[in-house]
């Protein structure tokens, strides 16, 4: 979709990290399952990961906006 020469700064870095997590249906994989508030980093890192959850959309949109700017 984008050539790496057209991407800048954080948008480029984020996009390149994110595109490796799309499956054959264009769903983002490895998304942290919805969770209540935790108090440690490990709490979130140990959460189950799922594919196609709505939590993945923000990362995709942030990257796209950074690229377009």
pLDDT values of the chain reduced to their tens digit, one per residue, 69 residues: 555 555 566 667 777 888 888 889 888 888 888 788 889 999 988 888 888 777 777 777 877 787 777
Q: Residue 16: which domain range?
A: 7-68
Two tokens, residue 19: 């595109």
Does residue 44 sit within a domain? yes
Does residue 13 sit within a domain? yes
Q: Is the pTM of this model over 0.85?
A: no
Query: Is 67 in contact with 2 (CB distance < 8 Å)?
Result: yes
Q: Which helix (H) or strand (E) holds 50?
A: strand 49-50
Does residue 1 sit within a domain? no
As for how many domains the chain has, the answer is: 1
Does residue 2 sit within a domain? no
């Amino acid at each position: 979709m984008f050539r790496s020469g057209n991407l800048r700064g954080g948008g480029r870095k984020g996009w390149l990290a994110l595109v490796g997590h799309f499956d054959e249906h264009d769903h983002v994989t490895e998304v942290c399952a919805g969770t209540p508030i935790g108090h440690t980093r490990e709490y979130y890192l140990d959460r189950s990961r799922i594919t196609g959850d709505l939590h993945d959309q923000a990362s995709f949109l942030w990257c796209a906006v950074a690229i377009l700017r």
